[in-house]
Amino acid sequence: MSDKLVFRVHPSINFARFGTSDEYILSPETSAGLPQANDNVTGGLPIKKDTESDPVTSNDLRDEEGFLRKQAARFRIYAYENGKSEYPSGEGTEVTIGTVLPDGRKVKTMLWSCHLANKKSAAYNVVNDKGIKAYDDGVPQRRNPEVHGDINDPNRLNQLMIDPGPRVINGRRQSSVGFNASTPAEFVNNKGEVTELPDYPIRFPQDTNEKLFEPSGPLNTLGEMRTDGMGRLLLLASSGNAVGQYDEYDQVIQMNGDLNNAGWFDSAADGPVDVTLVFEDDSIEQVHGAWVVCCDPAYAPQIRNVVSVWDNLYDMFVRKLSLQPDLYDQASDKYNCEYTPSFTQDIKPIFIACNLQRWTANLPPFALNAHTAVDAIDAKDDPNKTIMSGLNFIRNPNKDESNIGAPLMPLSLGEAGTSFLTVTKTQYFNLEQWSKNSFSQDEGSKLGKGELLDIASLSNCLGGRYVPGIEVSYSIMDKEIYIQDWRKSGAGPFRIKHKRMDYQGLNKADPYLNIGWIPRHGMTDGLEPGDLSKFMAIPWQTDYNSCSIHATAINTDGVNMSNGAESTLYWSWPSQRPDAVYVAEEVINNVLPQQKWSVRGPGTYAINPASAATFQNPVQSVTDWDKIGFIIQGTNIDDKYKQYDANLYLEVEGQLTAPGDASDPVAHWPFNANPKKKL
Amino acid sequence: MKLDKEGFGLLELHAHLQYAVDLELWTIPFYMSAMYSIKDKNTQAYQLIRSIVNQEMLHLQCAANIANAFGLSPKINVPVYEGTKVPHLDFSLDPQELVKQYEPYTAEIGPLDEEHINAMCLIELPEYDTQLKSHAQNAMVFCDTPTEYGTIGAFYQALLHGVALHKDQIRGGLKQVDFFAPFYRNMPNLTVTGSKDIGLSQVQLLINLITDQGEGFSAKEECVPKVFQNTADDPQPAQDHFAKFNEIKTCKDDRPETFQGGGADDSGLQGILIEQFAELTQVFQAMFNGENPKQFFPIMASVGASIRNCWQNGVTPSFSESTTQEEK
């Protein structure tokens, strides 16, 4: 390592989104819903291919044949002056091919490597009402228990784990290096040499299944790598497809639930991203690597989650890994009451998120007016004169208020074991400071460019309610998975610790990976590929589909613990999994039409409102997820005949219904499930 | 013998419709202040009063809708909280052995304590009590232009009588407001859409909703009829207000911890609340006068937030300058 510089990949955790097209756009690099300098387009939109930051318009979301474009996760390298290990550092200079460092060395190339895997079918069940607590006294039941062996038995791993092995790419504008069976596995050794791994035990479902049900084609890749014109890594997810096994009667194994379907595989994945800088003088520098997660398409990219993965991760780093001692003192376990949060960075995003929920949830008009008032609060307002005075309507995470519904906010469903969502303790502390008029009106960001990329990436993902989640699950909040000595190591915060893998002693018959890290078992040696996505539902589509609206008892073992009616319905993941939307083509003269369910049309008609907005047959969720529309800002909707206001966020590019088709009606909240049948 | 159309003329009816609005509005800050004085929102007392406050807002809406159906856009007067005076209720008209169970009481703004719980019980005293019923009937017989009643139930009995006498004056669809329909999925309609006989049925339904939610349906079946029950967010939707307040009263040992007021108002929180409440009354006025003020709910919510903020800072909430001055 240079004496003067440390190098880090940003975003430290990035998300590649599924798409059925071979073409791609780029994952967003701005934070959902937040205002952008000199532009009325808010953050969160994906980026046009081959551009630095041009947000997509609606026509970019699908290719000419109507297939959904993938969203490639773009990774960059930033150089930091040694010793600047405080957060935020406020610095960081991007390094690309051709960059000359202060010591005169010129970057010849960047050797990117990544290893994706999918361990879902081999892993443990998701227990929706226990969450991470399911690991407190052992482990949950294994998925696919009919496959013989303990959790790390090679027999199970060979049959149930998808592992294409590692791949390497370098140079400018390099085309696809696939995570498939036909592309050789390679890795970069610690001398910066690319080494082929001909004996790597590549595993795909077809290796051990003579026949598979493949409604959206074969599952033969977990994604691919490319580079852009600057040598940055572009990591593309797979098509997001899922395949099922046949039973002994030659029938497709039916999906019997949302989370842990036996006999099914999907092509979600995750894994470490590493890079070695190679200079013209053939010297090398190791870079603190990153992590990529390949996951759902993010149908409402600008609709900000009130609690995002960023909020959870920031909260954990603040309280458990001494991120900002001026904010929170870990020794005394207390926030600093002298700390002044930034209105722009710490307060306003919560208010904006509140107001954006209207575009994906069926809120009643009086709530919309209240949300408008929340969003209208600016830094100059006296908090005591606002609707947020005394934080009267915010559920306090320091008290046991998670079973109290309206008017406490957020009103969506909470984490496992609780009825309703709460903001994080750090979010709440910052709000408390604001409500006491103890905040900064400073508009300037103290964050470096790489640090902003970390925030953007993570704040565009679902937080709070990891049951099990959309992109990642509760494990993302566990400090065990991170580089905990982030200051001393120079890695910086929010960086997942990679389990050391030297790829020695490979044997095609034996699986290389095992089941890997699990929470609450003192495992701190880092994550293997597949160790984040294995906590998600299998296949991903059934959970996405079902997590529309529920009564609170879904979280609390079937018993209504809330203070309201047991049949009252709430939204599961309203920002990240749109429920009720306004269809752009039905908007005339910027007058909003009636809302429609995001998932609608043939196959979605529900007798019980609790099942509305979902494909009634889970197989349809596997085949038709890519037909769901996207919710984007009016400014970026391509329409020859109409212009849309910038304050509208509307559904575009949906393929589930045509104008005029019948669909289940959308009632304003509060609305109810059908009563339980009396025995 | 009940008063006839001449004895209970349209002017008297309009006066009673205004009383209904006055009375329902009066309860909202009074109950809200008691509720927000409770520190722990999880407590049964807090949750029960919250459900009652929500229904008092519904009752205000119903009262205003009925008034507008009779061509009266009600006036929204800033309520006065002084001594033991509750507008249009005179507890001396009730059997005193019953009233004594709920003394002492106060009609001044304050935290949830014995005097305020007593007041809330007295306000919601059930009219189905036979003794009370006879008192109410007596009031109607002997009083030409009654302005005060022993119970809310007695008052609404009189109103029911009056609206039936003047049913031909009912015009449906005039300046009707509805914020609550999704919370009452079993209720056919919370507005008056029909005229004359059809309108009368709707008016009677709204009055029954108010009384059955408030004092209950009957002594034997202490249960709010299904049609009037909240379907969304009431912890005990079948329980009427009187039963809920009595539950709080009888659980003395579990009385929730409350904030204490009376402190210095260094931050001007009382002034903010007074200002916001004045704005709220203006919005109510506009809303029940056929306008569509979008800021209604934000202001309503802001008033709630300000009440809480007052308590959290040791300041007793206040809703008008006169009260503040007196306290000073």
SS3 assignment, position A243: strand
**Cα-to-chain-centroid distance, residue B193:** 23
How far apart, in whole angstroms, are the C-alpha atoms of residue B302 and residue B297? 8
Name the strand (E) or helix (H) holding A571. Answer: strand A569-571
- At residue B3, the pLDDT reads 74
Rg, C-alpha atoms of chain A: 24
Cβ neighbours of residue B100 closer than 8 Å, sequence gap 6 or more? none
B4 by Cβ neighbours in 10 Å (0-12 / 13-18 / 19+) ranks as: exposed
Contacts of A420 in chain B (CB under 8 A): none
**What letter represents residue A228's amino acid?**
D
Going by pLDDT thresholds of 50, 70 and 90, the confidence category of residue B137 is low
* DSSP label at residue B182: G
Residue with tokens 């957060």: A87
How far apart, in whole angstroms, are the C-alpha atoms of residue A49 and residue A228? 10
Q: A658 to chain B, minimum CA–CA distance in Å?
A: 29
Which of A 328-367 lie inside 8 A of B, CB atoms? 364, 366-367
- Best mutation target among B39, B43, B61, B233 (most A Cβ atoms within 10 Å) is B233
Q: Which of A530-534, B143-147, B305-309 is the least confident region? A: B143-147
Cβ neighbours of residue A126 closer than 8 Å, sequence gap 6 or more? A140, A259, A260, A467, A468, A473, A535, A536, A537
Q: How many residues does chain A have?
A: 679
Secondary structure (DSSP) of A112-143: EEEEEEE-GGGSBPP-TTTGGGGGTTS--PBS
The three-point CA angle A458-A462-A467 to 5° equals 135
CB pairs under 8 A between A and B: 99
**What letter represents residue B13's amino acid?**
L
Buried b (16+ CB within 10 A) or exposed e, A433-466: bbbeeebbeeeebebbbbbbbbbbbbbbbbbbbb
- Record the pTM: 0.96
Pull the structure tokens for residue A141. 């039941």
Going by pLDDT thresholds of 50, 70 and 90, the confidence category of residue B141 is very low
Q: Is the pLDDT of residue B324 over 90?
A: no
How far apart, in whole angstroms, are the C-alpha atoms of residue B314 and residue B304? 16
How far apart, in whole angstroms, are the C-alpha atoms of residue A436 and residue A429? 11
User: Hey, is the C-beta of B38 within 8 angstroms of any chain A C-beta?
Assistant: no
Classify residue B314 as left (phi > 0), alpha (psi -120 to 50) or beta: left
Model pLDDT for residues A260-301, shown as the tens digit of each residue: 999 999 999 999 999 999 999 999 999 999 999 999 999 999
Task: Give the other-Cβ count within 10 Å of B207's Cβ.
Answer: 20
ipTM of the modeled complex: 0.94
How far apart, in whole angstroms, are the C-alpha atoms of residue A334 and residue A326? 11
Contact B41 A567 (CB under 8 A): no
When CB atoms are compared, the residue of A367, A406, A672 closest to B231 is A672
Rg, C-alpha atoms of chain B: 19
Pull the structure tokens for residue A428. 């709440």
- At residue B328, the pLDDT reads 38
Q: B50 to chain A, minimum CA–CA distance in Å?
A: 10
Residues of chain A whose pLDDT is less than 70? 1-3, 82-84, 678-679
Q: Is the pLDDT of residue B143 over 60?
A: no
Q: Is the pLDDT of residue B323 over 80?
A: no
Task: Give the other-Cβ count within 10 Å of A668's Cβ.
Answer: 16
Contact B298 A405 (CB under 8 A): no
Q: Is the pLDDT of residue B220 over 90?
A: no
Contact B306 A384 (CB under 8 A): yes
A311 vs B157, more confident: A311
User: Hey, is the C-beta of A665 within 8 angstroms of any chain B C-beta?
Assistant: no
